[in-house]
Structure 1
Amino acid sequence: MVTNNAITMLNNVKPFKTTWKVEVKVLHSWTQHSNYSGGDSLEFILADKMGFKLHCTCKRLFFARVRKFKIGEWRFLENFTLHPATKKYRATSHRFKMSIMSKINLDFAALNLLGDNYLKWALDTEFILRSKDLVNESQKTIMHNEKD
């Protein structure tokens, strides 16, 4: 059960606390194999309703905590840690990488009921470019009509 009421966007989370509450959708997931003592990890790309993306990792020890994560579902997440994303390979442009802790709270988000049309809009660059072209055409028409 999620306990905090304030929802924070992914671009505003910082590593100085672990009690952030975010509402995210799982865009992609994969298993990262490792020969080191930490073992395998489960990796996720998460996005919020504004389209900001964040890389999330979960060590094998906590796989049971995230087994409910399904691609395309919206979830509330609370009690996680953030670390600087400093390695050569970065899955997203976000400055930080999320790590799943033992006490993470996962809960279904209301956005599962609403659908995700606004996320599609936030990530749809074609829509943005078409809108810009329409504005330019409208301005040209107005300027042409003012000359007449």
Structure 2
Amino acid sequence: MRYWLIKSEPDTWSWDDQVAKGDAGEEWDGVRNYQARNFMREMRVGDLGFFYHSQKDKAIVGVVEVIAESHPDSSTDDPRWDCVDIKAVGPFATPVTLDQVKADERLAQMALVKQSRLSVQPVTEEEWKLLCDLGGYPVS
């Protein structure tokens, strides 16, 4: 299993919107960055990801699961763009802010710190466990 972080502007698609989709989940569409697209192509069913509210909140607010691997993005006719489907798994008890991530030396090499604008990015297992702990999310 691999771990990821995906960003969304909460005014466009929020954690609550994702939760409302239930087990059916939703396409993670609209990504128009080649590196982010390539990361989605690496995702496998069962991989987990942090759901990150960008813009004003700038915080990890929950955990999602990949439920469908890379396929054509239905929001465009351009064959260059793919997406995955995700479903909400559970919220963080306490959102973990970008400021908290940046202040923690153990996370200094995290993509969120080094490539903060990238909308889909990998997360190491060590980062995953640390952030779940900080957010009060049980790690199995």
Q: So what's the TM-score if we normalise by structure 1?
A: 0.30
Q: So what's the TM-score if we normalise by structure 2?
A: 0.31
Bigger relative contact order, structure 1 or 2 (CA pairs below 8 A, ≥6 apart): 2
Q: Which has the larger radius of gyration?
A: 1
